[in-house]
Amino acid sequence: MLEKKIYDDYVQSLKSGQKQKAQFLNFVRAGLKNAAISLKKDALDDTEVLAALKKEQKRLEETKETGIAAAKPEVVAQAEREIAILLGYLPRPMDAAELQKIVDQVIAATNAVSMKDMGRVMKEIMAQAGAGADAGTVSAMVKKKLSGAV
């Protein structure tokens, strides 16, 4: 469904003359096609599409940071435009309080007491939180909680 929405938006942006958006969505579609080929599938399901989109978002964030470090405002502006387009297809990120509640519940439910339990805790949290949770943020929360519990 998500891949079809991206295609439909690509076609719409072509028709409406939004050249930059059309080029970016075409690039995203090519990335999705490459991901499907590497997985030996005809099409990706929505979770695979979300994973590919998050990977692209991370790449764009890195590009933006590189542009800032190199003092290239045109690179930063382009990356920001593309991130804004991409965010339209990604689920809304969970707020910190909501995420902390899940972290606390999972740590209590799994009886995690040290950093040795981190993998098990992370797996459960990511399963519960889904695509709305950033793995880096979750990891930092779990590390803080488990290192304080030791």
Q: Give tens-digit pLDDT for 114-123.
A: 888 888 999 9
Whether 7 and 31 share a structural domain: yes
User: How far from 93 is each of 29, 80, 108, 130, CA to CA, in Å?
Assistant: 23, 17, 23, 10
Whether 28 and 11 share a structural domain: yes
Taking the whole predicted model, whether its pTM rises above 0.75 is answered as: no
Interaxial angle between packed helices 2-15 and 19-38, expressed in degrees from 0 to 180 and rounded to the nearest 10: 150
Residue 126 is predicted with a pLDDT of: 87
Quote the domain boundaries for residue 116: 96-149
Question: pLDDT by residue (tens digit) across 60-116?
Answer: 999 999 999 999 999 999 999 999 999 999 888 888 888 899 999 999 999 888 888
Whether 10 and 61 share a structural domain: yes
Residue 6 is predicted with a pLDDT of: 96
Q: What is the CATH number of the domain that holds 132?
A: 1.10.10.410
Q: How many domains does the chain have?
A: 2
